[in-house]
Amino acid sequence: MTHTPIASLLDIAAEADSVEAASILAAHSHETIHDVLAGLPAEKALEIASYLSGAASQQASDSVELAQGVKGQVSELMVPAIGVLPPHTTIAGALDYIVHAQPVSGITYIYVVDTDDHLLGVLAMRDLLLGRPGQTLMEIMTGEPFSFTPDTAMSDAIHAALTRRHRLYPVTDDNGKLLGLVYGWRLFEYVATEISAQSGIMVGVDSEERVSTPLLRAFRMRHPWLQVNLLTAFCAAFVVGMFESTIAQIVALAVFLPVLAGQSGNTGCQALAITLRGLTLGELQDYPVGRLLRKEIVLGGMNGFFVGLIAAAAMWFYAAQTGVEQPILLAAVVLIAMVGACMGSGAFGILVPLTLRRLGADPAMASSIFLTTFTDILGMGLMLLLATSIVL
């Protein structure tokens, strides 16, 4: 097996067409395929993964694991069935049907159904070309073909598409009646669109909004969440206003409030991202929430301590240079507040999406708005409370 560097494979996969890129990656290990697909844009990675065969496609699905959490059902992408013929049709009759079909290019498979539209089998164009003109479709068809049902979850459909790599998939009801078709490329397009929408959902951008969305509709989608954000911002401002006299006496605190808010906010967003990923992939079903909560609190404390050391040193230097009294105590306030804020934001990063889910809401919907509010209130409130209690 070759050992082409990951960077070189990334360049090749990005520039080559998907079929060629898939054939190149198929010769490499699971880890290499994972690293290369993880470094590509979602659309390109999903398209290449759809051409990886056998075990390689199963391995590749790990690299595009976010697709497993995409919501929706196959019925959303279903189109009317074409290329549908009865079992007694001869090969000559099927070819005549294809020639007169409009458009001819739309027919990829022939679907054989009985008088009640129950799906009996399927034929590829190759089967028609290799058969004798007088043979019936019943004689040469592949029986019991794979199919989706309208309520098949999109995540399951993507997994099947990665494994089977068909261009079209029939959709049948529970009794086997043919209802329509789903194009494979539409599945991957849908997943790429949903993944691209996840970052917008976190800040209140509707997943249905596109660059072509009319102005007024985009306004109606976004504005309510901005009003919510304004309300939550007032809550944080109220907390700061409670310590107005402390800020007036120690002006240096006002300089470091944005630093504290930014660091604790980032810590919370990291925990939020991990929690949303766990919910999306179903990992939290097997991983205790309490254990994750303890982990993120400890991790937040560790990050807060080391970031807080630098922030405390900066506070000491700033206070000493500007003549502020008790610079050592102020530095200690910054350090303690940073540790506490980061620990709390780590907890909020888990509790916010879990609470939204328990309330029946989308865990990702505007979660960063609520997270930012909680971390701002905790971080700034803690720093100002400590300064009031220790320094003054």
Alpha helices per DSSP H over the chain: 6-15, 18-25, 30-38, 42-51, 54-63, 91-100, 125-130, 137-140, 154-164, 184-201, 215-242, 244-249, 252-281, 289-322, 327-358, 367-386
What pLDDT score was predicted for residue 252? 79
Q: Are 188 and 47 in contact (CB under 8 A)?
A: yes
pLDDT single digits (tens) 372-388: 888 888 888 899 899 88
What pLDDT score was predicted for residue 47? 66
CATH 1.10.357.20 assigned to domain 217-391? The reply is yes
What pLDDT score was predicted for residue 52? 58
Q: What percent of the chain has pLDDT over 90?
A: 23
Take residue 211 and report the two structure tokens written for it.
Answer: 């660059």
What pLDDT score was predicted for residue 139? 92
What pLDDT score was predicted for residue 1? 41
What pLDDT score was predicted for residue 273? 82
What pLDDT score was predicted for residue 48? 72
What is the reported pTM? 0.52
74-155+166-183 to CATH, choices 3.10.580.10, 1.10.1840.10, 3.30.830.10, 3.40.50.620: 3.10.580.10
pLDDT single digits (tens) 139-149: 999 888 899 99
CA 200 vs. chain centroid, Å, equals 11
What pLDDT score was predicted for residue 104? 56
Q: Which stretches of the chain score pLDDT less than 70?
A: 1-5, 19, 23, 26-27, 29-31, 34-35, 38, 42-47, 49-71, 102-106, 162, 188-212, 280-282, 362-366, 392
Task: Report in angstroms the alpha-carbon separations of 176 from 87, 159, 307.
Answer: 15, 21, 61
What pLDDT score was predicted for residue 177? 94
Take residue 47 and report the two structure tokens written for it.
Answer: 């398209």
Instruction: Name the residue ranges covered by the structural domains of the chain.
Output: 6-63, 74-155+166-183, 217-391
